[in-house]
Structure 1
Amino acid sequence: MAERIGIIGGGIVGIAIARALAAGGGTDVTVLEKEHRVAAHQTGHNSGVVHAGLYYQPGSLKARLCARGRSMTREFCQDRNLPYRELGKLVVAVTNDELPRLDDIERRSRENRVPGLRRLTAGQLREIEPHVAGVAAVHSPHTAVVDYAAITEALADDVRRAGGKILLGQEVTAVAPGAGTVTVSTTAGTHDFDRLIVCAGLQSDVVARMVGATPSPKILPFRGEYWSMAAGRQDLVKGMIYPVPDPRFPFLGVHFTRGVYDDVHVGPNAVPALAREGYGWGRISLRDTLESLRWPGAPVLARQHWRMGAREISASLVKPLYFQQARRFIPELRPADLAAKTAAGVRAQAWDKDGSLLDDFAVDQVGAVTLLRNAPSPAATSAMAIAEHVLEHHLGMPQVP
């Protein structure tokens, strides 16, 4: 009899794991997704960048799985005739003060074997992005953009063709691990599995509590807001223009990205969301907000990062402040060039009881239940590699060829 394996979550990571299991045979795979489509949250609300591995600590799960995932994503898109555009990324030091941090990004990138990486002078960077101001940059020519929602749909088609099931509109209300069986109750019925994998993203700590796992890490939702560039001004950006990140924060800062369909957007910022799925200031969950405020790490996080939080919230509410952040990189930018706010995304950032924000991917095992506790960017890039990792290291199955 085939082993029954359930997966909670229909984002790109959950669907990639389902595809890997279904392709291997010998399992009865069922995905439970609370929305009425796959890729409804983080997967469908990101910038579409296929990361090359510039930022990640060498040797970390992020670094290793990003490199593998990038090549798998490229091959998958080529096989399925899905758009995959290597537009390249510049990480730009605007001032000399940022050069030591740029040096560190270059060091990490080389240790992570980012393909084609080059260090550029001010003149060289403007050969690639003529409108950018900066004193130096690193260039990753193979950083690409894709449509992650389309990729997830294609992966889901593979799951169904291999006999797996993707059940939509199935919000999980309870998980009961028992002797040899894990029972999952949803708004539409009850399911029994031999093993369960939780890829619940913004709800991952909620499901972890149902399983009986430790409450830490908890998910702190951060909203990232984007502005679209006016159509007549999109030629100011050829590919991707990123700031040198501040190592104290897990966010990259406002940047410019030409998307896979040639739209150009600016952002995202990083503001605390007032609900786990709070895509705007009008979406408020008192329960989610109070849970965050009562978390033991909240006072420490507030003391450490209140200045950043105040700056990001102010820029969210006052367009000229957001504009000033963006204009550092493109002096020709005008306020009217930020044409409209587009759909925002919410990042599921895991944080610990001591107030620290988790950086690397984190996977826990509780009996027959595998829990992805932290899977922020580059999880979309890494999704198929994460699937290999989970199968080999947590389910004891060989890697998918």
Structure 2
Amino acid sequence: MKKFVLYNNYATKNIKDFKDNFGDYLYTTINEYDALLNELKIANIFTKDVYRKSLYNILSNKNNNYNQTLIINAYSFDYLVFKDKFFINNNPHLILDSAILIAKILNIKNIDILIRSYYNKEILINTIVEAEDCYKFENEININIYDENNYKENINIYFLERQKYVLDLETVIQFGYFAHMGLDNFSQYGNDENKGTCLISFSGDIPNVDLYEFQFGTSFNEIIKASGYIYYNNDIKCVFTNGFLNAPTTLESLNNKSLSYEDINIGNGGVCFIAENRCMLRIVMKIIQFAKSVSCTKCMPCNYGFNLCEYYLNKIILGQSNNNDYKNLLNAVEMIIKGSSCLYIYNIAKCIIETIKMFEYEFIYALDKKITLYSFINK
């Protein structure tokens, strides 16, 4: 990962390294929550997820939340984004430090950290033990670590959208840096509208598949150059800028934009580059299969609709379709858009239909020739 502003490769896995780099835990050093929140309002930090909520607005809701649970979502759904594992491996104490402060501000006594089963849970467990030994907060707040195999409910989009306090891991980390640095130092990064930085996960048909950090206000021209695409043999056909939650766009259109909440919803920061010789029918199939994998299957448009999409698209790819299958594919996606219960699934479906429309010529070619444009599959 590129060392730039706030994040770096130096791991602070133990309490001594953390105290050397950051000092004491925030909840022991910050007494005036109102003053911190006023500075947070100026910093204008938003959640790094599809919902893009103001962190100031979330933390200003300081009602009697004693029985509420603060959920730290380190269970990233998008396989194009690989930040959570990095955060856990490199700076677990800042995760815990920030989460405890957020819980104290909101008057919440329970924190659930949700991770993938293949993440190193021992790192977080050791972090909690070290922090409890050092700061003795175990009687003030209850902290639990869960994966998909042992949580009280299925970890899915429907469940997460029903919870009142859910924060993605990058937002928690960003808040921790902000609180430790103070507004003046934090404001040196970013621009007038958006302070701080954002992590970008580069993936796809580029040489530099990795995590990079950029200040808000950085031009996408500079961001794209960091991906190394100019040294690649194939031209880039399109770019997905929020995993599969934004419609695809072109390099040309991105060159006129900057990294901000206004120009483009960067969301989880997953930027995927698609080469010119990629078959877009197969890209759409990957998006559909990803959508199926994260669906909670509780509502018919999502559960039934993506199966329909997969069925019709398979017929087109295999050269066994007609124009009705293409129309039925579009109708199935429209059904999901109109009837989906989750904003996350809604955005994925919007991405699917915009991708189909943007590359309609490839679908028409497959319908006419019974072979996809970039494929050796023939009937």
- TM-score over 0.5 (shorter chain): no
Higher strand proportion, which one? 1
Higher helix proportion, which one? 2
User: Could you state the TM-score of these two structures normalised by the residue count of structure 2?
Assistant: 0.32
Larger Cα-atom Rg: 2
User: Could you state the TM-score of these two structures normalised by the residue count of structure 1?
Assistant: 0.30
* Higher relative contact order, structure no. (Cα contacts within 8 Å, ≥ 6 residues apart): 1
